[in-house]
Structure 1
Amino acid sequence: MAPPSEQPTPQRPTPIPRHAENEMPSANELMEIGKKSLQTGALTGGIGLVVGAGSGIVRSAPPALFALFAGLQWFALGSSYMASRSLLWHAWGGEENLSRSGLVAASGIAGGVSGMVGGMFRGPRNIIPGILVFGTLGTTSTYITQVYKTTFRANESKPKSGWLDSKYSPLQRLSDRDYEEKLEEKILRIDAEISLIDDSIASLRASNNDSTKSNEEKR
């Protein structure tokens, strides 16, 4: 039997990193992603039906056939885009934890996947152009949206200024605290004036009483 010092030390299992545990979405998360994707696909598919019917009428072709084809294509574009983007958000830590560049990259990749699916409806030659076009659209639209949100939040955080804040304005903008202080000053001034009036009335009554007493004494 080997001495205790020479006995092999049992190795502990290597802990699995937390990000590796959450690498794959759960069943509920997959159902939620699928629900959002189908809702988006239904919306874009409805738009495709209208566009396809109009295109069929303009081309003097069967509107129902054009509407069906366009509806299916637009449904595939919308649902594949939403599904791809949601899965990328989950794999990269969630939408709330992504930077602007991460959100733009996720939208660009999802747009490329959507363009690839849409290109399959039109033939193999349209796959690469679809990836490029829809990838660019996804990247550009998300970048513009993020820039707008950043600018809007920055403007909201700045104190609003107007012509009342100008040094040449005859009026002055008052805060709630300043307004309360001015009201308190007016109330104190009114109380002081009421006290003076009460004193004047009391002195008039006293002098009236004195004159009445003097007249009675003379009688």
Structure 2
Amino acid sequence: MGTSTVTGGGPNPSPRKNGFPPEIIDIIGPALQLGGLAGMSGVIIGGFAGVVVSNTPMLFALASGVQWFTLGSTFWTARGCLLSSWDGGKITPREKVSVSAFSGGIAGTMGGFLRGRKNIVPGAIIFTAIGGIGQYVYNAMDARKTLAAENASVGQEKYSWMNSKWSPVKQLSDAEYGDMMREKLLRVNAEIALIDESIEALQSEKREMPGSTPRPNGTNDSR
């Protein structure tokens, strides 16, 4: 039996899941999850509101769930497509705000269309603002979390009580501690040198005293 070989030197195509590229699955999957959560919230809230404002609360809750599912899934799908198509996946926080605002506008347009054409423009405006403001708040919280993580990685937070000007002690790094110990060692060596000079001066004075005779071992005898 012969063996078959695969010709062609090009890169292998990306594996597909259920006939769809993995990039599409990575966008559609989370979008459906978010849409499901939004739809469930819409059903619950619509159920309570339907009891008050509608004679058919079940239909009102179902319509609310469909609307919120459309909003959530459309927003996340549009946002995922825009982020995946960005240049090299590199995007600044400010650009993320623009992307989320634009995606919110698309979701608001779809949600407004379900409620009637007269709600398309108000829905687009409202959800554009919600998407942009929400992304801005998330960026600010993420930046604070990143800063806290960087401070913790140093070993001690930047505003530790030990670094306060009112603290009687101060935390030192390894380099600062090494410099302090070398400075103390130099001071000790300088003091030892002064002591040696003082001893040498006393011995010289003793040798120069009248009546002193040097001993065989090099010391003076003043008897």
Give the TM-score, by structure 2 length.
Answer: 0.62
Corresponding position of 2:117: 124
Pick one of 21, 29, 37 that aligns with 2:31.
37
1:143 and 2:136 correspond: yes
Aligned CA-pair RMSD: 2.4
Number of aligned pairs?
Answer: 153
CA gap of 1:120–1:60, structure 2 versus 1, over 3 A, is: closer
The more displaced of 111-120 and 100-109 is 100-109
Deviation at 1:160, TM superposition (A): 2.6
Which residue identity does 1:100 align to in structure 2? P
Superimposed CA distance per residue, residues 21-59 of structure 1 (whole angstroms, 9 cap, x where no aligned partner): xxxxx7211122111111111000000000100001122
Which residue does 2:162 correspond to in 1? 164
Q: What percentage of residue pairs aligned between the two structures are identical?
A: 35
Q: Structure 1 residues 133 and 60 mapped into 2: Cα distance closer, same or farther (>3 Å)?
A: closer
Q: Does 1:73 align with 2:59?
A: no
Q: Structure 1: 5+ residue runs without aligned partners? A: 1-25, 179-219
User: Where in structure 2 are the equivalents of 1:47-196 lying within 5 Å?
Assistant: 47-59=41-53, 61-93=55-87, 96-158=89-151, 159-173=157-171
Can you list the C-alpha shifts for 1:56-94, whole angstroms capped at 9, x where unaligned? 112253221111000000000000000000001111136
Q: Residues 169 and 111 (structure 1 numbering): CA distance in 2 closer, same or farther, change over 3 Å?
A: same
Distance 1:69 1:161, change over 3 A: same
Counterpart of 2:107, as a letter, is: S
How big is the shift at 1:155?
4.3
User: Which of 1 and 2 has higher RCO (CA within 8 Å, sep 6+)?
Assistant: 1
C-alpha spacing 1:169/1:31, structure 2 compared with 1 (3 Å): closer
Change (3 A) 1:60 1:30: closer
State the alpha-carbon separation in 1 of the partners of residues 136 and 171 from structure 2: 38
Deviation at 1:133, TM superposition (A): 0.6
